[in-house]
Each structure stands twice: as structure tokens, then as C-alpha cells.
């Protein structure tokens, strides 16, 4: 008599199917035991000021730097200015003697004061003059020092400005004459009202980022502003006062249209989606052009999962012991 053998593959198939059924059951149990609740944060539509800006950093540098060299080879007799001093065109900044005059005066000193006075009156010193109005930013020589015509005696600038680096993606929003705010790292509590003076044409690429140099001038250059300082520049793109604003988080965009959620007439009903026309945004607030009025309420929603009892859940949905509440 023959005995029919059991097919092991059949038992494997049935075992796999049983595991799938159990997994589906436990997953359904987990999902059905957790309700997704949306908690809405109401906000009133108010009037306020809003502005859009671009941020950049830069370094203070002279608009035009002039290095003043010795007009003749010889010796510096007197330096009449200090670093940071403002000077005007044709002002005498220093006196110097040519090599021949210095030699004559030194020889005359061995013969007495009268001899020195004679040569000083007969052979005048050579002045170093300021070529224009500006500020002395570097004194590179002292009285008694011997110099040649290639040596820089003094350096001056006609005006200090910040050379800021602006990303190419923001350059279209920056215009000559545009208002900006300048804050020096060394003096963070002294913001300076400024404007865009020049936009460079030659790009710089740093770390694969293409930028353009934009010159920004303060409306008034303070005494504490010095060449080489680091500055933060805020370019004002657009500014509006007393317009309707809502939180940026309350705006939803779908297919190039903007919407907000407003409470339904019946508090038990779901919120109503309202189309609005938006204006400028500063990243936190958005201007409402139409679709809402001052005093209206808009909703910002956040989804959270809750169990039937209202407690937050943790643990695995496939645990035979179910989900235990957090402690």
C-alpha cells in the first residue's frame, strides 16, 4: 500500500500567507487606533509694514586711493598730518629737503645759527601737497627719514565705501541709487544709511558661486569708519507701509494661485479655503492685496497623530502587545 507524501512547498506557501494576513491585521489595528488631528492656529489679518531685502557682506575700502610719493629725493623735515585727518585740496601735508639742501643745511649747522638761517632762507624746503579733498589713511614716513622719489610718504582716499559681493541671482534687484543699510562689525549699534554707488561688470567665482562687486557709500562717513573693516549690507528692494499682512505659514500655493484657510460658519465644520492675491513677502509676513479684510481670521494648521484616548503613541504597529502610551 502506497503512502501519499506531504508537499513541503504547500506548507511554506500557507505559512507565508498567514504571516501576510497577520501583518495586515496588525497594521490596520494600528492605523485605526490612531486618528490624525489637525490643530489650527488662528491669526487676525492686520495692517503693518513690510519690506523685502537682500543681505550681503563686504569690506570697507577707499573709493580712490592716492599714494603720495616724494617729489624729490632727500629728507623728510616735517609731517603736518596724522592718520584719519581730513585734508583739502592744495593743503601742505609735509615739508622735505632735497639731497643737496639737506647736505647744505647739515654743513651750515657746524658754522652756527646765522649760517643755517642764511641757507634756510636762500634754499626753501619742498612741500608735499594734497591733490584733492580726502582723508589720510596711511603715514609711511617720519621726520628725519631719507626717501627717494619711489617711496610712498602718505596715502589718502577721497571717500570710504563698502565693496560688497552680491550673488548673480540677486543682481537684477540691485540698482544704482538704491537705498541700503550698512552695519560695521566693529560698531554693530551704529547702522549707517547708505546707497548703491556702482555695480561691477566683472564677475568673481568663489566656491562655485558667482558674485559681482557692488560699491555702497554711506550718506555720511563717520570718523570711526576705517579702511579694511568688515560690513554687513542690507539692500532695500521694496517697502510698503500699513498694508494687510498675514503669517507666511498661512499661505498655501496651488497651480500659481494662493489660498488661505478661514473658519467655517459652523465651528464644527472643516475650514474653508479662500483664494487671495498676495504681494511682497519678507519671509515671515506676506502682503494681502485682495481676498481678505482687516480683522478677518486665517488659520495655520499642523497635523499630529493621536490615539483614540488622545494620548501620543509610540512602539511598533506589529507588536502583539499593541502600542503603549509614552511615559
DSSP secondary structure, 85-123, as one string: -EE-TT-EEEEEEEHHHHHHHHHHHTT-HHHHHHHHHHS
Residue with cell 552680491: 166
Q: What is the pTM of this model?
A: 0.61
Q: Which residues of the chain have a pLDDT value below 50?
A: 1-3, 303, 305-327
pLDDT of residue 10: 62
pLDDT of residue 49: 93
pLDDT of residue 37: 61
Phi, psi (degrees; rounded to nearest 5) at 125: -70, 160
Q: What does the alpha-carbon distance between residue 59 and residue 211 come to, in Å, rounded to a whole number?
A: 15
Residue with cell 557709500: 217
pLDDT of residue 15: 65
pLDDT of residue 323: 45
Please name the helix (run of DSSP H) or strand (run of DSSP E) that holds residue 134, with its range, or none: strand 134-139
pLDDT of residue 82: 93
Angle at 61 between CA 200 and CA 158, to 5 degrees: 100
Pull the grid cell for residue 185.
562689525
Q: What does the alpha-carbon distance between residue 14 and residue 165 come to, in Å, rounded to a whole number?
A: 69
Q: What does the alpha-carbon distance between residue 195 and residue 55 come to, in Å, rounded to a whole number?
A: 14
Q: What does the alpha-carbon distance between residue 194 and residue 174 come to, in Å, rounded to a whole number?
A: 13
pLDDT of residue 307: 47
| Beta-sheet strand order (sheet of 134-139) | 65-69, 152-157, 134-139, 86-87
DSSP β-bridge partners for residue 198: 215
DSSP β-bridge partners for residue 313: 325
Amino acid at each position: 500500500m502506497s503512502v501519499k507524501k506531504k508537499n513541503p512547498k504547500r506548507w511554506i506557501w500557507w505559512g507565508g500567507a498567514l504571516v501576510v494576513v497577520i501583518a495586515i491585521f496588525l497594521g490596520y489595528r494600528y492605523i485605526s487606533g490612531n486618528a490624525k488631528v489637525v490643530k489650527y492656529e488662528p491669526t487676525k489679518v492686520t495692517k503693518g509694514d513690510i519690506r523685502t531685502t537682500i543681505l550681503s557682506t563686504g569690506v570697507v575700502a577707499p573709493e580712490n586711493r592716492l599714494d603720495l610719493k616724494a617729489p624729490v629725493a632727500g629728507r623728510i623735515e616735517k609731517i603736518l598730518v596724522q592718520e584719519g585727518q581730513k585734508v583739502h585740496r592744495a593743503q601742505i601735508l609735509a615739508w622735505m629737503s632735497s639731497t643737496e639742501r639737506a647736505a647744505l643745511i647739515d654743513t651750515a649747522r657746524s658754522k652756527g645759527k646765522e649760517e643755517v638761517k642764511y641757507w634756510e632762507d636762500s634754499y626753501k624746503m619742498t612741500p608735499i601737497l594734497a591733490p584733492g579733498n580726502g582723508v589720510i589713511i596711511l603715514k609711511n614716513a617720519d621726520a628725519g627719514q631719507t626717501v627717494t622719489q619711489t617711496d610712498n610718504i602718505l596715502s589718502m582716499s577721497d571717500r570710504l565705501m563698502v565693496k560688497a559681493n552680491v550673488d548673480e541671482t540677486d543682481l537684477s534687484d540691485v540698482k544704482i541709487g538704491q537705498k541700503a543699510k550698512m552695519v560695521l562689525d566693529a560698531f554693530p549699534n551704529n547702522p549707517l544709511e547708505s546707497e548703491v554707488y556702482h555695480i561691477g561688470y566683472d564677475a568673481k567665482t568663489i566656491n562655485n558661486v558667482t558674485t559681482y562687486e557692488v560699491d555702497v557709500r554711506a550718506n555720511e562717513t563717520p570718523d570711526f569708519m576705517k579702511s579694511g573693516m568688515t560690513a554687513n549690507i542690507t539692500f532695500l528692494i521694496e517697502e510698503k507701509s500699513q498694508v494687510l499682512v498675514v503669517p507666511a505659514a498661512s499661505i498655501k500655493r496651488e497651480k500659481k494661485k494662493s489660498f488661505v484657510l478661514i473658519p467655517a460658519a459652523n465651528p464644527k465644520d472643516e475650514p474653508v479655503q479662500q483664494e487671495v492675491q498676495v504681494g511682497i513677502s519678507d519671509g515671515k509676513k506676506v502682503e494681502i492685496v485682495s481676498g481678505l479684510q482687516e480683522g478677518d481670521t486665517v488659520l495655520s494648521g499642523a497635523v499630529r497623530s493621536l490615539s483614540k484616548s488622545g494620548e501620543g503613541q509610540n512602539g511598533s504597529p506589529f507588536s502583539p502587545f499593541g502600542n503603549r502610551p509614552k511615559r
